């Protein structure tokens, strides 16, 4: 194994050592990021891909790491996550899987500029309960402070159903977009924020606002709860009734749009429909539904259409990334 030490960290350490005297020290020394290891080239095809990935994108695909590294965060979230380590014999399968559900959607330029320094690969991501008696929750992917964690590196990759592959695609891209937003790595055009009036319901007396009212002002529902969908729990917890104050926050607005864009296509062909308020589940959270037209041909919710067009065109022009392709991808 060859050790790849962090060049930036080394330069910082050297500059601090030469520029600061003992009197200039700013308190206790903080340890720099640890070195990570890359496989020796030629050991395996999968190992060579890990090396190539780092050399091209300056991003480590980590499958041999410590719990402390995975769990590290500057401010505690209060949630206890634990990595269930994957079997390295499935590394090649995992990399092919990531190509299919994640990597191939993004341009080389985007990956070089935006990808996290660390990508943790593992069998499972376990969220341990805070209190005794509560169950452990498992995640397909997770945004960490300086990394993205992805589960699935095990023997189930070859037997994965089309439904679960689509759910994994959703989870990984949601975690990635969440990481990008948390780290302010995306330049969002100002014209997006100019469409909706974020002060419209500032004095609204009710906590909840009817969905169609929110949509008329250009807002989409929060769909993060949809990630709890599985083949055994097919309906998830999509928030059809959004809290007004939450929706009016520009940060939540852009997040809801981007997550809807990478999760949903023109249709939603994953699970059987079930009726809810006269609208089928599979039709409620799709772009065909959000972009439905009135009898005169005008859009029912024109502000949603306007904001969608702004983001789609911006990501294509600036990043060479087609978000609609991600949302529409099924297996």
Q: How far apart are CA 50 and CA 59, in angstroms?
A: 9
Q: How far apart are CA 321 and CA 134, in angstroms?
A: 40
Burial class (CB in 10 A: 0-12, 13-18, 19+), 209: buried
Q: Determine the average pLDDT of the residues in 296-306.
A: 97
Query: What pLDDT is attached to residue 287?
Result: 87
Q: Determine the average pLDDT of the residues in 165-188.
A: 96
Q: Determine the average pLDDT of the residues in 126-146.
A: 88
**Other C-beta atoms within 10 Å of 329: how many?**
18
Q: Are residues 167 and 214 in the same domain?
A: no
Final residue of a domain: which of 158, 182, 206? Answer: 182
Q: Is the pLDDT of residue 11 over 90?
A: no
Helix (H) or strand (E) holding 120: strand 118-122
Q: Is the pLDDT of residue 120 over 50?
A: yes
Query: What pLDDT is attached to residue 223?
Result: 78
Q: Tell me the pLDDT band of 221, cut-offs 50, 70 and 90.
A: confident
Q: Are residues 235 and 91 in the same domain?
A: no
Give Cα separations from 60 to 46, 157, 310 (angstroms). Answer: 13, 21, 33
Of 21-30, 144-153, 190-199, minimum mean pLDDT range: 21-30
Final residue of a domain: which of 182, 213, 247? Answer: 182
Q: Is the pLDDT of residue 89 over 90?
A: yes
Query: What pLDDT is attached to residue 75?
Result: 66
Per-residue b or e along 140-159, where b marks 16 or more CB atoms closer than 10 Å to that residue's CB = bbbbbeebbbbbbbbeebee
Q: Determine the average pLDDT of the residues in 36-49.
A: 93
The alpha carbons of the chain give a radius of gyration, in whole angstroms, of 22
Q: Are residues 242 and 173 in the same domain?
A: no
Q: Is the pLDDT of residue 242 over 60?
A: no
Average pLDDT, the chain: 81
Q: How far apart are CA 244 and CA 211, in angstroms?
A: 10
Q: Tell me the pLDDT band of 22, cut-offs 50, 70 and 90.
A: very low
The DSSP line for 210-253 is: -HHHHHHTT-----GGGGG--SSSTTTT--SS-BHHHHHSHHHH
Per-residue b or e along 13-24, where b marks 16 or more CB atoms closer than 10 Å to that residue's CB = eeeeeeeeeeee
Q: Determine the average pLDDT of the residues in 274-302.
A: 74
Query: What pLDDT is attached to residue 282?
Result: 45
Q: How far apart are CA 63 and CA 68, in angstroms?
A: 14
Q: Determine the average pLDDT of the residues in 292-321.
A: 97
Query: What pLDDT is attached to residue 222?
Result: 78
Q: How far apart are CA 149 and CA 144, in angstroms?
A: 7
Find the domain containing 88 and state its range: 2-182
Q: Are residues 161 and 197 in the same domain?
A: no
**Number of domain units in the chain:** 2
User: Is the CA virtual torsion 218, 221, 224, 229 positive or negative?
Assistant: negative
Q: Are residues 227 and 164 in the same domain?
A: no
Query: What pLDDT is attached to residue 99?
Result: 98
Report pTM: 0.82
Of 20-34, 55-69, 276-290, minimum mean pLDDT range: 20-34
Q: Determine the average pLDDT of the residues in 126-148.
A: 89
Query: What pLDDT is attached to residue 59?
Result: 96
Q: Are residues 105 and 177 in the same domain?
A: yes
Q: Is the pLDDT of residue 313 over 70?
A: yes
Query: What pLDDT is attached to residue 29?
Result: 44
- Residue 232, by phi and psi: left (phi above 0), alpha (psi -120 to 50) or beta? alpha
Query: What pLDDT is attached to residue 129?
Result: 83
Query: What's 78-115 look like in SS3?
Result: CCEEEEECCCHHHHHHHHHHHHHHCHHHCCHHHHHHHC
Q: Are residues 158 and 197 in the same domain?
A: no
- The residue behind tokens 């090649």 is 92
Query: What pLDDT is attached to residue 229?
Result: 46
Q: Is the pLDDT of residue 108 over 70?
A: yes
Give Cα separations from 62 to 122, 139, 147, 224 (angstroms). Answer: 9, 18, 10, 26
Give Cα separations from 32 to 66, 98, 212, 266 (angstroms). Answer: 16, 29, 50, 46
Q: Are residues 11 and 148 in the same domain?
A: yes
Q: Are residues 133 and 241 in the same domain?
A: no
Of 21-25, 142-146, 314-318, 323-327, minimum mean pLDDT range: 21-25
Q: Determine the average pLDDT of the residues in 302-312.
A: 98
Final residue of a domain: which of 157, 182, 207? Answer: 182
Q: Is the pLDDT of residue 192 over 70?
A: yes
Q: Is the pLDDT of residue 230 over 70?
A: no
Query: What pLDDT is attached to residue 226?
Result: 66
Q: Is the pLDDT of residue 181 over 60?
A: yes
Q: Are residues 54 and 90 in the same domain?
A: yes
Query: What pLDDT is attached to residue 210?
Result: 75
The gap from C-alpha 73 to its chain's centroid, in whole angstroms, comes to 17
Q: Are residues 177 and 223 in the same domain?
A: no
Q: Are residues 37 and 154 in the same domain?
A: yes
């Amino acid at each position: 194994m060859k050790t790849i030490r962090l060049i930036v960290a080394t330069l910082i350490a050297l500059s601090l050592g030469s520029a600061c005297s003992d009197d200039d020290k700013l308190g206790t020394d903080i340890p720099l990021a640890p070195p990570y290891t890359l496989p020796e080239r030629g050991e395996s095809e999968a190992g060579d891909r890990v090396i190539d990935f780092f050399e091209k994108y300056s991003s480590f695909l980590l499958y041999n790491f410590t719990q402390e590294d995975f769990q590290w965060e500057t401010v505690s979230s209060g949630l206890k996550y634990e990595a269930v380590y994957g079997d390295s014999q499935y590394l090649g399968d995992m990399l092919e899987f990531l190509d299919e559900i994640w990597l191939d959607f993004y341009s080389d330029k985007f990956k070089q500029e935006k990808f996290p320094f660390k990508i943790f690969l593992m069998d499972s991501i376990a969220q341990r309960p805070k209190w005794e008696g509560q169950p452990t929750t498992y995640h397909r992917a997770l945004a960490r402070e300086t990394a993205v964690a992805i589960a699935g590196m095990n023997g189930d990759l070859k037997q994965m159903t089309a439904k679960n592959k689509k759910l994994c695609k959703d989870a990984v891209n949601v975690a990635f977009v969440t990481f990008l937003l948390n780290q302010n790595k995306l330049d969002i055009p100002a014209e997006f924020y100019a469409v909706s009036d974020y002060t419209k319901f500032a004095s609204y007396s009710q906590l909840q606002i009817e969905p169609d009212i929110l949509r008329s002002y250009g807002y989409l529902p929060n769909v993060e709860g949809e990630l709890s969908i599985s083949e055994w729990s097919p309906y998830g917890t999509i928030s059809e009734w959004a809290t007004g104050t939450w929706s009016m926050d520009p940060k939540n607005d852009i997040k809801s749009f981007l997550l809807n864009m990478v999760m949903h296509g023109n249709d939603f062909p994953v699970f059987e429909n079930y009726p809810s308020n006269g609208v089928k589940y599979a039709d409620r959270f799709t772009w065909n539904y959000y972009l439905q037209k009135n009898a005169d041909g005008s859009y029912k919710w024109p502000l949603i259409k306007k904001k969608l067009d702004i983001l789609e065109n911006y990501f294509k022009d600036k990043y060479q990334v087609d978000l609609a392709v991600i949302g529409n991808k099924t297996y």
